[in-house]
């Protein structure tokens, strides 16, 4: 126990987490100022459970009936016939070349068409139904819409929304209000729920990038809360939530086969994404944290550099997704319609040639020419 106490004391040393000449006792809540409390971060765990249960309830009782009313069917794909030899081959690699299919057909005394059909059915076995994907997007759209409007509503009267320098003026002696507390705790619990549910949701090509994004966001929220960077944290959350609303709307429209609505919301998403993630985030937020903050605070400390590094890691992820978005937008523009999920694709999408066509196996990654789909 003594060794554990020594390790904790060394880890939570004020020289790392707080500005010079500041102690933890200086930031204890009192009658005049209600400072952030690191113990409150544990509230996010039971709240994450509540969010997951809320999601399950809404998907089952609201989003699924709504999707069905739009004509979305919850159909499960047919299962491939049991064949131990093909199953062993599939486990080793799910991507078969035409040469491999010819060899398998000869060994099994099947036609190439039969092998192709088995592969198509086997790949689609674990594929989620369109209704499941619609419900997932509906839930995220619901949350991001709520989070963005709640954040904008309570930040409207906060001075740091209109003058970002107030994120640092008076730092670290900045109290936290009840609306900021709820904004932080709900956001933190939501990203904890995503980090868990992502392993059970629709698998997409950017699975690990999204997982890193969720973990990075959790660390950012936790660090900023502990070190009293909560004002800057609220601005980061606000700029990130608004674009995702239109992304999820575009996906919902795609699943419901409202192509015109999908095209419109996708264009809006691209504009909002470029404005917030590539415009406001680096040139407003990162510029302030990197250039203005050291000038206002004078003496920085290790936790500040950790916080700023995580912000730059988010920017790297933004640039990766922006490259993907613009690439898909260009291809979609040439094809005449925009895909519902222009940021990533389901990893289990299958586009083998239809049975009426000649024997051929396409890439399993999508329907557009670049292999990316919803």
Q: What is the mean pLDDT of residues 50-77?
A: 90
Q: pLDDT per residue over 184-196, tens digit each?
A: 999 999 999 988 8
State the Cα–Cα distance between residues 96 and 156, nearest whole angstrom: 56
204 has which bridge partners?
346
Pairwise pLDDT comparison (73 vs 65), residue with the higher score: 65
Q: Please report, for residues 20, 248, 258, 267, the alpha-carbon distance to residue 338 in angstroms, rounded to integers and kept in the order given.
A: 52, 14, 11, 8
Pairwise pLDDT comparison (111 vs 270), residue with the higher score: 270
State the Cα–Cα distance between residues 347 and 209, nearest whole angstrom: 13
* Conformational region of residue 350, where left means phi above 0, alpha means psi within -120 to 50, and beta covers everything else: beta
Q: What is the mean pLDDT of residues 343-353?
A: 42
Pairwise pLDDT comparison (14 vs 231), residue with the higher score: 231
Those residues whose C-beta lies under 8 Å from the C-beta of residue 373, and which sit 6 or more positions away, are 339, 341, 345, 346, 349, 351, 365, 366, 367
pLDDT of residue 135: 93
State the Cα–Cα distance between residues 159 and 110, nearest whole angstrom: 72
Determine the straight-line distance between the first and last CA of the chain, rounded to whole angstroms: 52
pLDDT band at 32; cut points 50, 70, 90? confident
pLDDT of residue 366: 30
Burial of 297 from C-beta contacts in 10 A (0-12 / 13-18 / 19+): middle
Q: pLDDT per residue over 130-161, tens digit each?
A: 898 899 999 999 999 999 999 999 999 999 99
CB 266 within 8 A of CB 338: yes
Whether 372 has a pLDDT exceeding 80, the answer reads: no
Those residues whose C-beta lies under 8 Å from the C-beta of residue 217, and which sit 6 or more positions away, are 191, 314
Pairwise pLDDT comparison (365 vs 308), residue with the higher score: 308
pLDDT of residue 179: 92
State the Cα–Cα distance between residues 285 and 305, nearest whole angstrom: 15
Q: What is the mean pLDDT of residues 252-271?
A: 92
Whether 345 has a pLDDT exceeding 60, the answer reads: no
pTM for the predicted model, two decimal places: 0.79
- Among 80, 91, 88, 84, CA closest to 116: 80
């Amino acid at each position: 126990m003594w060794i554990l106490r020594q390790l904790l004391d060394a880890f939570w040393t004020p020289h790392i987490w707080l500005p010079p000449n500041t102690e933890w006792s200086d930031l204890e809540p009192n009658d005049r100022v209600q400072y952030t409390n690191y113990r409150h971060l544990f509230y996010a765990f039971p709240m994450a459970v509540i969010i997951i249960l809320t999601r399950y309830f809404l998907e089952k009782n609201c989003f699924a009936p709504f999707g069905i009313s739009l004509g979305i069917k919850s159909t499960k794909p047919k299962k491939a016939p049991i064949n131990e030899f093909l199953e062993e081959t599939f486990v080793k690699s799910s991507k078969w070349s035409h040469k491999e299919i010819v060899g398998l057909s000869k060994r099994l005394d099947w036609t190439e068409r039969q092998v192709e059909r088995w592969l198509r059915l086997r790949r689609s076995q674990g594929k989620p139904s369109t209704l499941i994907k619609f419900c997932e997007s509906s839930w995220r759209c619901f949350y991001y819409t709520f989070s963005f409007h709640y954040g904008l509503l309570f930040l409207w009267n906060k001075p740091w929304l209109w003058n970002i320098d107030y994120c640092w003026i008076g730092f670290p002696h900045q109290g936290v209000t009840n609306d900021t507390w709820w904004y932080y705790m709900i956001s933190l619990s939501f990203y904890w729920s995503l980090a868990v549910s992502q392993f059970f949701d629709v698998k997409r090509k950017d699975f690990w990038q999204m997982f890193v994004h969720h973990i990075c966001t959790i660390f950012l929220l936790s660090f900023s809360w502990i070190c009293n960077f909560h004002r800057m944290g609220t601005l980061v959350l606000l700029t990130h939530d608004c674009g995702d609303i239109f992304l999820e709307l575009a996906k919902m429209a795609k699943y419901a086969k409202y192509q015109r609505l999908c095209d419109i919301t996708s264009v809006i998403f691209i504009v909002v994404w470029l404005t917030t993630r590539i415009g406001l985030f680096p040139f407003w937020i990162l510029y302030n944290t990197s250039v203005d903050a050291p000038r206002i605070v004078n003496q920085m400390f290790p936790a500040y550099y950790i916080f700023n590094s995580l912000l730059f890691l988010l920017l790297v992820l933004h640039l990766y997704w922006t490259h993907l978005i613009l690439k898909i937008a260009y291809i979609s523009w040439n094809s005449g319609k925009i895909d519902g999920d222009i940021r990533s694709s389901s990893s289990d999408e299958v586009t083998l040639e239809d049975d009426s066509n000649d024997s051929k196996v396409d890439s399993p990654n999508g329907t557009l020419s670049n292999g990316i789909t919803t």
